[in-house]
Chain A
Amino acid sequence: MNTAADTQPTTQAALVIRKLFKAYVAGQPVLKGIDLTFGGTGLTAIIGASGTGKSTLLRCINRLVEPTSGEILLEGEDIVRLGGEQLRAARRRIGMVFQEYNLVERLTVMENLLTGRLGTIGPLDAWLRRFPPADIEHAFALLDTVGLANFANQRADSLSGGQRQRVGIARALMQEPRLLLADEPTSSLDPKTSVEIMELLREQGRANNIPVIVNMHDVELARRFADRVIGMRNGEVAFDGAATALDDGMLRSIYGGEGWLQ
């Protein structure tokens, strides 16, 4: 199961997952003892058929889904044990990008970006939109980075899919995260926009020197952008190695069958 191709020099791993189990219904585990280690940089693609637990795995990392058992160490701190304020502090260090963008539709682009800073300010300031000037400057800088400089006061529901996903990425980066998760960020986008979004994710991971973990369906995109690929089948890791090591035999064992490969 594990051909750990993690050859980067790791002083301390950014994220370590140990014996992670998750069962939504008792006795029917979706994740069956995941063991993974992620170094300080690089883009990792998690591939696998629908329903193999990719999304659950990602959501366990920031505890949007409660793990049944196991350990998740973010820079040495076990997230599974945290609660309340400490959990929220840990979530702040993990940025997340969603398949359907999950922007708050009726808020402006700027407000959506600032939601990335909500963990740092109190309820009254949040209500009155009183964010520190540094945050606002940071938000404008990020809008420049993702190419949406003039969209600050547009409502999120007036944007196209690609633009929304750029806002989604900028929102995650607003948190100044130590880890970036992306749950099928390109599945709702056309091929050209998908490539642009993947480029942006890789670029931002490098620029901020943080690891990026991306769930995806598109094997070609994974080969093209990922440094490392993890293949999941039935709640277990079926492949873990460099993107170049991913051949048809491996794909067959991850997805099963072969007719689709031609």
Chain B
Amino acid sequence: MSGAAPLRAQPAYLPPFRQSNAQRAAFVLLAAYALYAAAQFDLTWARFIIGLSNGARFLGRMFPPSFANWEPLLKGMLESLEIAVLASVVGIALSLPLGLLSARNLMPAWVTWPARSLVALCRALHPVIVAILFVKAVGFGALAGILALVVASVGFIGKLFAEAIEEISLKQVEAVRASGASFANVITYGVLPQVFSRFVGFGTYQFDSNLRNSTMVGIVGAGGIGATLFSAFQRFDYDFVCAILLTIIAVIVIGETLTNVLKKVFRA
């Protein structure tokens, strides 16, 4: 150390809050792109006005919501719930070992590489697209929805589990290893306690997410309330649409409340 090192790399004063030319150019490009893309979308004033009047009529027909046709609503909603529950359970059960195998601090590269690829593959396609494929494979109905959401769950929480395990303190693991514990016991005592509450957090988050998606996969025939919703739209049965949407939102809100209780119990 020889006193204060001169900061020769920078000029003495930078103008405050100056933006670099590259940043400015990026913003100009973005704006130009937005204009160009908007033009492609046939975004005209006339269309906007027509849309507004359509929208007003549409809203008028949505209210008051009609629960007269409650039987398919209840049946579809229950099926959505069942899909979400089963997909979450199976998805989490598969994600635990996959997350462990993907953790680069505990496993050798020849194990993590295939596990990480599998998880990434599960994450690459939107659940609804996966649902389409499963509908073709196992036919219409809840099974396709469950399988699609299992894939989505593995893709999402498999990754989060692995990241959580990679962030643990290895000192605690070392101490358990030093006691002569077997690999399984090292995982149970050295690794799991460090990540358990985060796992509960991810698991409940995934359940919420599966619940939302289970109301959608029906649009492609994979069971649940989505099919009812889609056909109501196609029949212009908008007061029923409104009833379905209100029910979905209510169920999601209740689901989130329950998962918060769960997190409290496990101190996540």
Contacts and interface: CB of A to CB of B under 8 A. Distances in A.
Interface in A79-132: 85, 88-96, 98, 100, 102-107, 111, 115-119, 121, 123, 126-127
A88 B181 contact: yes
B172 A104 contact: yes
Nearest to B194: A106
Interface centre among B174, B176, B177, B179 (most CB of A within 10 A): B179
Interface centre among B180, B182, B186, B196 (most CB of A within 10 A): B180
A171 interface: yes
Interface in A166-189: 168, 171-172, 174-175
B172 A127 contact: no
A102 B180 contact: no
B180 A89 contact: yes
A26 interface: no
A interface, by DSSP: helix, strand, loop or mixed?
helix
A90 B179 CA distance: 9
B224 interface: no
A85 B184 CA distance: 13
B174 A64 contact: yes
A98 B180 contact: no
Contact residues on A (Cβ < 8 Å of other chain), bracket? 35 or more
B178 A94 contact: yes
B179 A119 contact: yes
A62 interface: yes
Given A104-B175, A104-B176, A119 B190 contact: no
A105 B172 contact: yes
B213 to A, nearest CB: 32
B176 A105 contact: no
Contact of B177 (A90, A91, A100, A175): A91
B189 interface: yes
A118 B182 CA distance: 8
B171 A106 contact: no
Given A104-B189, A104-B193, A118-B185, A171 B179 contact: yes
A103 B172 contact: yes
A56 to B, nearest CB: 14
Nearest to B195: A106
B188 interface: yes
B189 A88 contact: no
A64 B178 contact: yes
A64 B174 CA distance: 7
Given A104-B176, A106-B196, A111-B193, 11 more contacts: A90-B180, A91-B180, A104-B194, A106-B197, A107-B189, A115-B181, A118-B179, A118-B185, A119-B185, A123-B184, A172-B179
11 contacts: A62-B178, A64-B174, A64-B178, A91-B180, A96-B179, A102-B172, A119-B180, A126-B185, A172-B179, A174-B179, A175-B179
